Amino acid sequence: MAIYFYKADQPYGCFSNFSPHQIIIDGKEWPTVEHYYQAHKLLGTPDEPLMEVIRHLPTPEQAAATGRDRDRIIRPDWGTAKREVMWQAVLTKFLTHKDVQKALLETGEELLVEDSPRDYYWGRGKDGSGENQLGKMLMEVRSYLRNQFWQSQL
């Protein structure tokens, strides 16, 4: 049975990028994966100083609203860079927080689906025709963690 997640306060909310799990990357603390992801749209652009502003915003909703502000010009390579940015953030989250790591491993081989009604890239979209890239990435993280465990047993 597929496992659906989306909002942080709904079932499997700990899989959401909006869940309150801090990550530390290159010595900097980010309150959520979403803060890190949205801020990195501005890396190398004239608005780069705003990355620090986003990092300090109190909620992931505010971080997302700022990163999605279309008045801002985001980095030209975002279309290809965003996967790597997301991977680093999501992997760090699941390596850092043992409770969510356990929850992810306990999903076994189930299909994970980000049940976003409006995101057809990271999510399944309203009609289910979306790519579900976040769900797929979480399944990759799950395999990575499992491989890491078996390597440590050798």
Ligand X SMILES: Nc1c(N[C@@H]2O[C@H](COP(=O)(O)O)[C@@H](O)[C@H]2O)[nH]c(=O)[nH]c1=O
Q: Does 83 bind ligand X (CB under 6 A)?
A: no
Angle at 28 between CA 23 and CA 32, to 5 degrees: 30
Q: Does 126 bind ligand X (CB under 6 A)?
A: no
Site track 48-77 with ligand X (rule: CB under 6 A), x = hit: ----------------x--xx---------
Q: Does 114 bind ligand X (CB under 6 A)?
A: yes
What would the 3-class secondary structure string for 1-60 be?
CCEEECCCCCCCHHHCCCCCCCEEECCEEECCHHHHHHHHHHCCCCCCCHHHHHHCCCCH
Task: Supply 61's token pair.
Answer: 């909703």
Select from 12, 15, 37, 94 the one that contacts ligand X (CB under 6 A): 37
Of 18 and 94, CB closest to ligand X: 18
Select from 66, 92, 116, 132 the one that contacts ligand X (CB under 6 A): 116
